[in-house]
Amino acid sequence: MLKSFAIISLVTTAALAQSTAIPSGISQGCSSFLTSLNTDSSLSTCLSSLNNSTADYQPGSDATKSPSAAKVGSTLSNLCSTAVTNNCPESLIRGKLTDFYSACSAELTSNPNTDVIQKYDMLYTILPLKTAACSKDDSGNYCVTQAKLPAGQTAAQIQQVLANNNAPNTDSYRTYGIPFLFLQSSLPSSDLCNVCTRNVMTSYMNFEAKVPYAPGLGKSVLLAKQPELYQGIQNTCGSTFLSGAGVQAAGGLSGGTFHSGAVQTGAGQGFIVAAMGVLTLIASAF
């Protein structure tokens, strides 16, 4: 039986929620767009809903110190509820991403700005991460309850690494495979070739088919390992393992790129406050 699992948010501390400074060296149009997101009421409602649904697992909370299966279950139920889905419709996020790309296309592609791409990544990842977190296996169990921590790591150790910086430690998010519930291309087939892996990958590929990732996945601060993960799954589980829904969205994943000339994308500042609620910290023992 799995003894522990941890799913950690894309934003780790309240300090990040206060990070409303506009990146320097960007165009006026991009700057104005990022500023407008700070006061966007629809986005604020969406992200506050996500944040509230995982409030029990904010860093330092009692639930993270003394986790229980019951509390984990109720938190996931809240996160995956119809109420949260209604407050965060896909059309809202897709629209903001479209506006983001329109206002900051140079900062995302031809003249990339790391800070802008980071903000874009956080907004881009919200919905596929939520979908992945809410996915279940064939027995109806949440896939996050079956996620395995990287070899030699505990939830507490990972939490400490992610909490060391005042800004999001995107290197660690990427290294640990947190957006993909800790999936790694090097996992053995017993851990990699299952329905949860398929569901997690499909969560991202379906979203990417609708909203191609503007800078190209290789430039993502959070999702850059997805092409490597995709290829590892193909190599270990077979070329047909990911066939079906979402696979056509894979596009250039095996080649290490994924972008389109008809990109529609976006993000900003205000979303950061509630992005920590996508999945803050869930750690539990069974």
* Selection from 13, 134, 152, 32 nearest residue 76 by Cα: 134
Give pLDDT tens digits along the chain (286 positions): 222 233 434 333 322 333 457 888 999 999 999 988 878 889 888 878 887 887 776 656 666 566 566 777 787 888 889 999 999 999 999 999 999 999 999 999 999 998 899 888 888 888 898 898 888 989 888 887 777 777 776 666 666 665 555 555 677 778 878 888 888 999 999 989 999 999 999 999 999 999 999 888 888 888 999 999 999 999 999 989 987 644 444 444 444 333 322 222 222 121 222 223 333 322 222 1
The count of other CB atoms within 10 Å of the CB of residue 196 is 23
State which H helix or E strand residue 284 sits in: strand 281-285
Residues 32, 201: Cα–Cα separation, whole Å: 34
Where do we find the tokens 């509820």? 81
CA distance 274 to 48: 5
**Dihedral angle over CA of 12, 1, 176, 104, nearest 10:** -60
Where does residue 8 fall: left (phi above 0), alpha (psi -120 to 50 degrees), or beta otherwise? beta
SS (H, E, C) 181-210: CCCCCCCCHHHHCCHHHHHHHHHHHHHHHH
Instruction: Give the pLDDT of residue 268.
Output: 18
Q: What is the pLDDT of residue 248?
A: 44
Query: Which pLDDT does position 160 carry in this prediction?
Result: 64
Q: Which two tokens stand for residue 274?
A: 């509630």
**Whole-number pLDDT of residue 111:** 94
Show Cβ contacts of residue 50 under 8 Å, excluding neighbours closer than 6 positions: 79, 84, 88, 126, 130, 274, 275, 277, 278
Q: How would you label 210-229 residue by residue, b for 16+ Cβ within 10 Å and e otherwise?
A: ebbbbbbbbbbbbbbbbbbb
Q: What are phi and psi of 282, to 5 degrees?
A: -120, 115
Q: Which of 271, 4, 278, 13 is nearest to 162 (CA)?
A: 13
- Assigned token pair, 170: 């995107």
For residue 2, the model assigns a pLDDT of: 28
Name the token pair of 277: 């609620």
Residue 124 CB-half CA count within 13 A = 34
